[in-house]
């Protein structure tokens, strides 16, 4: 994982004519050199980064906001590329921002990452990313750019479970709060409680979620988009009746959603710098 991939590129055999890729031959920081495992199977990471980040407040798209001076997206790409099994990375950029993201990745010495423009919803974006994968990819990790600090151990745990035969794998943590189900009152006012699920059976789901490629592709072909689209790929796979399993998530794989999450992310990075030089 320390030299540039000289084999098949992420855009070989792809039907997407929109993929944006620089043809640099310099060694890159992504280290995407793995041509696949011993049986030639390849794992791709698809990183949706096309959201605006409305809940974070005004500013550039969320994935482009910086943490310790480095864009969140760059942290996320490095986190996934660090996993031994990941042999290519596809980033899904804001629909009108693919050239800018390409430039940004090149600036951070990540030229061998493919960039495709995203869609209106996360579900649309992931579908567009899947369409850009070469045929040789048979396992896919879908990872939110908004989870920039996921540890490599979590990524490896998901990949291992997929490689051992699980069609769909999600990292998740127990839920610390008691959770209520309510009757939403969109106009405001107190919401009637309709139930209290047994907390010991609940898990808060993170990414990367890992899939056999055929299973994820089937879900994106067959599960129709409703409203804001699916926020969870495994949920689409569940709807088709496929088995989804959970592996342990990690507290540092939290999603940067609201301003306070930026404070937490900076604190995690500061702790990493203090303890092990940045990783």
**Residue 120 binding ligand CTP, by CB under 6 A:** yes
Asked whether position 209 contacts ligand CTP by CB under 6 A, the answer is no
Smallest distance, ligand CTP to C-beta of residue 94, A:
8
- For residues 33 and 91, which CB has a smaller minimum distance to ligand CTP in the complex? 91
Site for ligand CTP in 99-118 (CB under 6 A): 118
Residue among 137, 130, 129, 112 nearest 37 (CA): 137
Binding mask 214-243 for ligand CTP (x = CB under 6 A): ------------------------------
Number of residues lying near ligand CTP (CB under 6 A): 22
Query: Is residue 48 close enough to count as binding ligand CTP by CB under 6 A?
Result: yes
CA distance 272 to 60: 26
The answer to whether 210 touches 154, Cβ cutoff 8 Å, is no
Residue 184 burial (10 A CB sphere; 0-12, 13-18, 19+)? exposed
Instruction: Give the β-pairing of 42-48 and 86-93.
Output: parallel
* 138 contributes a contact to ligand CTP by CB under 6 A: no
Q: Does 57 bind ligand CTP (CB under 6 A)?
A: no
Helical ranges in the chain per DSSP H:
72-81, 98-107, 122-131, 152-163, 213-222, 233-239, 259-276
Q: Which residues bind Mg ion (CB under 5 A)?
A: 51
Distance CA 165, CA 115 (A): 29
Query: Please, which residue, 50 or 137, has the CB nearer to Mg ion?
Result: 50
Binder of ligand CTP out of 89, 145, 236, 237 (CB under 6 A): 145
Instruction: Tell which positions 158-197 bind ligand CTP, by CB under 6 A.
Output: none
Residue 136 interaction partner, one of Mg ion, ligand CTP, none, beta carbon < 5-8 Å per kind: none
Using an 8 Å Cβ cutoff, are 201 and 187 in contact?
no
Q: Which residue in this structure is represented by tokens 């407040």?
A: 57
Q: How far is the CB of 93 from ligand CTP (least distance, A)?
A: 8
Give the CA-trace dihedral at 91, 156, 177, 255, to 10 degrees: -20
Smallest distance from ligand CTP to CB 228, Å? 9
Looking at the chain, how many residues does it have? Answer: 279
CB atoms under 10 Å from CB of 30, counted, come to 24
Q: What residues have CB less than 8 Å from 227, skipping those under 6 apart? A: none
Could you say which of ligand CTP, Mg ion, none residue 49 binds, taking C-beta under 5 to 8 angstroms by partner kind? ligand CTP
Judged by CB under 6 A, the residue of 2, 26, 40, 54 near ligand CTP is: 54
Q: Is 255 in the site for ligand CTP (CB under 6 A)?
A: yes
Positions touching ligand CTP (CB under 6 A) are 48-55, 62-63, 92, 118-122, 125, 144-146, 255, 257
């Amino acid at each position: 994982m320390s030299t540039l991939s000289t084999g098949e590129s992420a855009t070989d055999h792809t039907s997407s004519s929109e993929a944006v890729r620089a043809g640099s031959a310099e060694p890159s920081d992504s280290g995407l050199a793995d041509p696949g495992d011993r049986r030639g199977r390849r794992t791709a990471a698809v990183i949706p980064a096309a959201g605006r980040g409305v809940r974070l407040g005004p500013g550039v798209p969320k994935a482009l906001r910086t943490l310790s001076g480095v864009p969140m997206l760059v942290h996320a790409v490095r986190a996934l590329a660090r996993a031994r099994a990941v042999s290519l990375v596809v980033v899904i950029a804001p629909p009108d921002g693919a050239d800018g993201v390409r430039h940004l990745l090149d600036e951070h010495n990540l030229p061998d990452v493919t960039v495709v423009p995203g869609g209106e919803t996360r579900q649309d974006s992931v579908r567009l990313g899947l369409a850009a994968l070469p045929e040789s990819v048979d396992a896919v990790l879908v990872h939110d750019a908004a989870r920039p600090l996921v540890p490599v151990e979590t990524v490896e745990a998901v990949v291992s479970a997929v490689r051992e035969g699980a069609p769909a794998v999600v990292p998740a943590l127990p839920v610390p709060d008691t959770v209520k189900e309510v009757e939403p009152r969109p106009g405001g006012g107190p919401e009637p409680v309709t139930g209290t699920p047994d907390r010991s059976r609940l898990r808060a789901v993170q990414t990367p979620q890992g899939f056999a490629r055929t299973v994820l592709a089937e879900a994106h072909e067959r599960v129709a988009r409703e409203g804001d689209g699916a926020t969870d790929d495994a949920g689409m796979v569940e709807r088709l009746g496929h088995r989804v399993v959970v592996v342990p998530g990690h507290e540092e794989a939290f999603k940067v959603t609201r301003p306070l999450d930026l404070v937490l992310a900076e604190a995690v990075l500061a702790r990493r710098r203090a303890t092990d030089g940045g990783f």
